[in-house]
Chain A
Amino acid sequence: MESLHAFVKSLWAASFVLQVVILCLLVFRGHFRSLPFFTSYIALNLCQAVLLYAIYKRYDQQSDFVHTFAWQAEAITLIAKAFATIEVLRRVLIAYRGIWGLAWRLVTFTCMATLLGVVIAARGQGDWATMEADRGYHLIFATAVLACLALIRYYRIPVAPTYQIMLAGFCFYSCMKILANTALQEFLYQRFTTSGEIWQTFSMSVYVVVLVVWAVALLRPLPAPAPQDAALPPFGYPQTAPELHYQLQAINKQLMNFWKMEEPGS
């Protein structure tokens, strides 16, 4: 514990306090009823911090036991994070059953494709297996969340600012972790003896910023989930969508004809 830089310690303390504040907001404002998985994620993070503090205090930080324990605890919170994000996405898309179905397929496809890319890129990086796995997770996570955000934007689905901030916070943290892990593995480790501290300082600073933004966002009341009361009948889409796409295709074809017509020498 003593070897940890004072600044990292203060960041750790700040993140702990902020997570307690967020947990209090979730409980006392009743948000935990709407966001049980997000509440669990914050609670698990707090438990992780307390456990790690105790372990670091008792054992040598460089020992295999501490290393394994820390990463196993991290894995649990990462799973909780995925569930919390799916929960927020579901809250946003609950009134749009068709889009929700589309988002699920998109997330599955994005995760599979990114996982394949991560596995290919990580080949031969055995010494850094844990960091690779962590970066791979954040890469898959950020890509999937961004794909869903793009889908939400494409269909112009209104998103409550609180949910938007929560999703952006998750995604921002993952993007920064990709950068931090890459910098540590490829740059910091070879050049600085305190690379671990630099990595921790960067990661914790980003997390503290995300927590502050989340805390402010959770001060607002959460919107009530809206049922899909203005839905088309089940036969509406199969009847209307092909017709609309046919018309879109027709206009596109006219533009294509214009394009061909413009080719020099035509």
Chain B
Amino acid sequence: MNYYLLFFAGIGVALLAVLAWLSFSGIHRAARGDLGSRPEREYRHISYLPQIKQSLGQADYEYLLARGPAGLAKRVQKERRRIALHYLTALRTEFERLQHMARVVTSMSPEVAVAQELQGLRLNVEFSIRYRIIYLRLVSDIAPVSAINNLSNLISSLTVRMETAISSLGESAALAAELGSPHNGMNPG
């Protein structure tokens, strides 16, 4: 078989596949979060962080292992894994909401910085890949137990950071929401 033929035929088919994907796959706007929605809904998971932290505490787990009936620690471990998954999902929601906001800001700006946008794209790709790998590892139960236990420490360090981020984003969100309404209702083209 001619490699030249394979190379260009492959490129042609790949371009057609991309065209089909871009043309026929719908844009899931709803899943990306609406800028007009109430902020408290978007930050709901943040308000439960203390409880999540408590549920993932190492001390509780060790106590159950030593004093609890057989199987209880395992059940708790399973619950912890579920919580870790929920946490990941929340992290993803937060990321997508911010990204949506960034896109709206970019699409409404008369001038944009290429480097800034490339950084956003790179972050998006990195986040998507990591998210899927971690999610798969958690779902398939191949994540080490220590990782799940250590999640509480991670969440502790995140709490302060996220709250600071959210407060600083308040103004940006309000601005984007205000500007987002006419943008979304604009005539196509």
A residues bordering B, Cβ < 8 Å?
91-92, 94-99, 101-102, 105, 121, 135, 139, 142-143, 146, 149-150, 153-160, 163-164, 168, 171-172, 174-176, 178-179, 181-183, 186-187, 222-226, 228-232, 234, 236-238, 240-245, 247-252, 254-259, 261-262, 264, 266
B residues bordering A, Cβ < 8 Å?
2, 4-5, 7-9, 11-13, 15-16, 18-19, 22-23, 27, 29, 32, 88, 91, 94-95, 98-99, 101-103, 105-114, 116-117, 119-121, 123-124, 126-127, 130-131, 133-134, 137, 143-144, 146-147, 150-151, 154, 158, 161, 165, 168-169, 172, 175-176, 179, 182-183, 186-189
Pick the contact of B182: A91, A101, A164, A229 (CB < 8 A).
A229
Q: Is the CB of A225 within 8 A of B189?
A: yes
A-B contact pairs, 16 of them (CB 8 A): A98-B109, A98-B111, A154-B121, A158-B188, A164-B23, A178-B12, A224-B187, A229-B182, A229-B186, A244-B102, A247-B165, A248-B124, A248-B127, A249-B123, A254-B154, A262-B134
Q: Residue on A with the closest CB to B99? A: A248
Pick the contact of A139: B11, B27, B29 (CB < 8 A).
B11
Q: Is the CB of A248 within 8 A of B133?
A: no
Q: Is the CB of B107 within 8 A of A240?
A: no
Q: Residue on A with the closest CB to B168? A: A243
**A105 contact set on B, CB distance < 8 A:** 114
Q: Is the CB of B114 within 8 A of A230?
A: no
A181 to B9, CA, bound (A): 9
**B109 contact set on A, CB distance < 8 A:** 97-98, 231-232, 236-237, 241
Q: Residue on A with the closest CB to B13? A: A179
**A149 contact set on B, CB distance < 8 A:** 19, 22-23
A181 to B109, CA, bound (A): 42
Min CB distance, B30 to chain A, in Å?
A: 12
Min CB distance, A196 to chain B, in Å?
A: 18
Pick the contact of A153: B7, B27, B112, B176 (CB < 8 A).
B27
Q: Is the CB of A255 within 8 A of B119?
A: no
Q: Residue on A with the closest CB to B103? A: A155
A256 to B150, CA, bound (A): 14
Q: Is the CB of B22 within 8 A of A135?
A: no
Q: Is the CB of A237 within 8 A of B105?
A: yes
Min CB distance, B108 to chain A, in Å?
A: 5
